[in-house]
Structures are given as structure tokens and as C-alpha cells.
Amino acid sequence: MGTMNKLQLADYAVFLLYFVIVSGYGLYIYYRKKAKNPDSKAFFLAEGSLTWWAIGASLIASNISAEHFIGMSGSGFALGLAISTYEWMAAATLIIVAVFFIPVYLKNKIYTMPQFLSQRYNDTVSTIMAIFWLLVYVFVNLTSIIYLGALAITSISGISFEVCIAGLAIFSIVVTLGGMKVIGYTDVIQVAVLILGGLVTTYLSLNLVSNHFGYGENALKGLQLIREKVPSHFHMIFNSSNPYYRDLPGLSVLVGGMWINNLNYWGCNQYIIQRALGADLNTARSGILFAAFLKLLVPVIAVLPGIAAYVLYQNGMFQTEMVDAAGTVKPDHAYPTLLNLLPSGLKGLAFAALTAAIVASLAGKANSIATIFSLDIYKKFFRKNATEKQLVLTGRWTVIIAMLLACLVAPALRSLDQAYQFIQEYVGFISPGVLAIFILGFFWKRTTSAAALAAALLTIPLSTILKFLPAWTDGHFPDYPFLDRMSIVFVFLIVLMILMSLLDRKSNDQPRVIQIDPTLFRFSSAFAVGSVLILGILTALYTVFW
């Protein structure tokens, strides 16, 4: 990636300070909260001890990772502000999750997503989905976070790729072994560091643009310039002639697949929901609303630097850094290239921000893998009467093994162009099925276990057929953008589940195991004001950047 100005002594000092603070605070929380008997609920859920701000910060810390800093900036470089739709639509989705999903989980004392499926349907549906989740979490999520993280860190620090992979894995394992409490509270520091470091990089990138065009260091002028220089990068909704229409297919991002993607991610996803499951309803809702406000900020720290790098690249800068040996432009090089221009000390802060994002995500993912494996596989099938101590120990071993597997697979991702899109697409193979099973399981008593099982088994084959059919039929079959593909699979599975449930007369008298009380969906006036404010900001953003 061309010549790099590597980390200086001041950068290492700043990074070391961050490392000591996070590790020290983690140890303090661990020993302060540690009971004589290790309790599995405390280890997996931090039961009742996370405040609303810790829940909100932890949601964002486990959500934002190298895939945002590196991948989203890369997509910002390639296709512009439109990639922000993932973040801004997520803010709206979080409000829906807080109102409709969280109360159902808390009322029914749900701790894991497979446990919900087991209670609502049966153990077969629950186990199949538990295995799917474990595979996706380990081989798509964990692997891609480690890969992108190591890629970023090696390009900034010059430390070898393999050493970066090992270092990230070890740091994350140490944080994760302390359990959910340690993850939740250290995430508050991680979020503060990643937002501060991210804003520094955005400020610098806009200053660079302003400087390059002769206006001195003026970030606001830089913002104005990037809008003037590449107006095409400031449209949220693409038309079908746009070369990136396949990634973000027009209005589908507002009414179609993006909702399926987001509702599945924020509402039926162990490692996200897990943060709120240990709290009471008001605390959980306030935390989720706080996370929604933070989501509005993410494109400022992740997408704008990518667009700024694109403007500079178009005007003669970064010609060696942004191109690989074969002469191909690599959008994912945008963020690391900008970080290398930061002054000494600030670069250490940005480096710490990136590491914070990666480690927090890895720890959150690993804890969820441990939770699902220990409670839904180990306890159910291997040791029904496992003690609390055995469950926690199993959880810790699961963390270590999952990290090892991810480290071994990570180097295989080196051939990818825009890693962010890869993650979205392949997680999207199971999202339609999961969401269909959960939504009908929540809100329609008649849904049968057989219907849920059919959706669980069909979601991956249907997605695969729709993805590869155009190639198999030499283009005689339409090649759908992956967000549209998710909508098609979702609608098909919902219709199938409804038909199967209606035709299955025998199951109509089955008792409903999930309690739903309409009063659960009432919310406070403060929550309503916050929600209206978020929706107003979103309406304004989409109107301005349509």
C-alpha cells in the first residue's frame, strides 16, 4: 500500500494508555462484582447490573467494528453517502425493537434466541437455528472482524498481519472471559474512544480536502467542497442506471430488504439483544434509544472520510496507496490511508479507536457464541444437570475455541474487494427465515412448529438458488440485488408458514407458550419524545440527500 508513516513513540504511548485503562477497568469491574460462586446468568447476561448508558454504549460498541471503519469507508469511497442507509435505517429499527420485541423477551424471561424458539415452537427448530447462528457467528462475523481488524492494524502500524490476528484474538479473549458485566462496562470506554478517534479522523480528512484546494485548514469548507466536487456521492436513493444499484437497490432500502436485514440484526440477534436482556423494561428501552441516537452519528465518522479520500484520489492524491499490485482500485484502503496522515499522538488515538471497535465487537460476538453453545447445546444435549460453575467454564472454553477457528479462517478472506458488502450479503442468507419465524411466533398464535421448521430449513437453499440461478441459466433468470432477494425469500416464507399453519388442523389447539400482553407495548412520554426526534432527523436527512 505504498510508503507509510508508521506509528511514533507518542502513538504507542497513547495506545498503551488506552490498553491499560480498558484492561484495568475491566479487572476492577470483574473483581468488584465477582461473587463467590460463578453465576451463569451474571457471566452471560450481566443480570440487572448494566445501566441504560452502559446498554446503549455496549450495543454500539459490539455493532461498530473494523467492518464500519474500514468497510463502510471503503463503500463511502466507492458509492458515497448512500451506504449510510444501513446506519440511519437502523436508528428507526431500534425504536421498533424497543417497543415491540424487548418487552416480549423480558416478560417471558428469554435469555437466548434459541430458548425463545424452543419455548414458542420446539427443540428441533431451536437446535437447527442454534447451529446456524453458531456457524454464521464464527465463520462470517468473527472471522471477518478479525480479518478486517488485522488488515487495518497492519497497514497502520507495520506489525505483521499474523501477529495482528493473534494480538486481537488474545486481547478479546481476555475481555470476554470476564463475562458480560466486564464487556458492558468496558464498552462505555471503547465507545468514547472510538467516537473521539473517529471524529478526529473525519476532521482531518475534511481539513485535507480544504487544504488541497487552497483554502487552508477548514473542515467546514472541506465538507462544502466534497459536496461540490462529487455531487453523485451525496444521493441516498440510487436509480437503476447507477453502477452500484445492485448493492443498494433504490427504494428497496426504504421499504424492502433493508428492514428485514435490520429487524433481524437488531431484534433477533443474540449478541445484540443480549445486552438488554438482563435489564428491566425502562432501562432496556432507554439504552436502545440512546443507541439509536449514536447510530445517527456513525456515518459522520465512517462514511465521510471515505468520500473525502475519494475526492482527494480523483484529484491526484493517494495514487499508490489506493491501488493494489495488479492496478485495481481497492476502496477498503481508504481509511487506513487517511489514518497514516494523522499527526503523531492523534494517530495513536485513532489507532486505539479502531482497536476498541474491533475488540468490543469480537468480545460481544464471542460471548454470544459461548451463551448459545453453553445454554442451548451443552446443557441441553451433553450435561442436563450442569452446575453454574460448569456452564461458565464451558462458556470460557467456547470463547477460546471459537477465536482459534476464526483466526485460522481469517486469512482466506484476503481476496475480497468490499468486505462490508460480503458480510451483509451472506448474513442475509438466513435473515429472512429467522425474521419470519420470530415475527409470526410473536404475533400469530396459530403459527405451528412444522411451519417454523420449514422456514428454518428453506431460508439458505432459497437464498442460494436466487443468488446462483442467473449464472446457471446463462442470464435467463433475473439477477436480483441481494436486498431484493431477501425480500422475495421473506415474503415466500411468510406465505408458506401461514398456509402450513392454516392447513394443520391438529396443531390449532396447542397452548401458546409465549405470553403477550398488550400493555407491554406502552411506553413513556420521554421515550416518545426521543423517538419522534430521531424520526424527524431521519426524515430531514433523506429529504436533503434524496
> Could you tell me where the beta strands, DSSP code E, fall in 124-267?
none
- Measured between alpha carbons, how far is 416 from 294 in angstroms, rounded to an integer? 29
With H, G, I as helix, E, B as strand and everything else as coil, classify residue 276. Answer: helix
Which residues 6+ apart lie within 8 Å of 131 measured at CB?
377
Q: Which CATH number fits domain 9-23+53-415: 1.10.274.100, 1.10.10.10, 3.20.20.140, 1.20.1730.10?
A: 1.20.1730.10
User: What percent of the chain is predicted at pLDDT more than 70?
Assistant: 93
Query: Cα dist. 423→67, 139, 164, 269 in Å?
Result: 9, 10, 21, 15
In the block, residue with C-alpha cell 482527494: 312
What pLDDT is recorded for position 33?
65
The residue type of 187 is: D
With H, G, I as helix, E, B as strand and everything else as coil, classify residue 262. Answer: helix
Residue extent(s) of CATH 1.20.1730.10 domains in the chain: 9-23+53-415
Long-range contacts of 393-399 (CB under 8 A, 24+ apart): 394/370, 395/40, 395/43, 395/44, 395/367, 395/370, 395/371, 396/177, 396/370, 398/369, 398/370, 398/373, 398/374, 399/173, 399/176, 399/177, 399/366, 399/367, 399/369, 399/370
Q: Within 10 A of 497 (CB to CB), how many other CB atoms are there?
A: 27
Phi, psi angle pair for 393, to nearest 5° = -65, -45
| Residue of 57, 162, 66 whose CA lies nearest to 423 | 66
**CB hemisphere CA count around 229 (13 angstroms):** 21
Q: What would the 3-class secondary structure string for 144-178 be?
A: HHHHHHHHHHHHHHCCCHHHHHHHHHHHHHHHHHC
With H, G, I as helix, E, B as strand and everything else as coil, classify residue 34. Answer: coil
- Measured between alpha carbons, how far is 283 from 526 in angstroms, rounded to an integer? 12
pLDDT digits 0-9 by tens, 257-314: 889 988 998 988 887 777 787 778 888 899 999 999 999 988 988 889 989 988 888 8
Query: Cα dist. 12→157, 163, 251, 345, 348 in Å?
Result: 10, 16, 46, 8, 6
What pLDDT is recorded for position 291?
92
Which residues 6+ apart lie within 8 Å of 279 measured at CB?
48, 50, 52, 55, 106, 287
What pLDDT is recorded for position 36?
46
Cross-strand pairs, 323: 329
What pLDDT is recorded for position 200?
85
For the chain, residues with pLDDT lower than 50 are 1-4, 36-37
What pLDDT is recorded for position 496?
95
Q: Within 10 A of 122 (CB to CB), how many other CB atoms are there?
A: 15
- Please say whether the beta carbons of 50 and 184 come within 8 A: yes
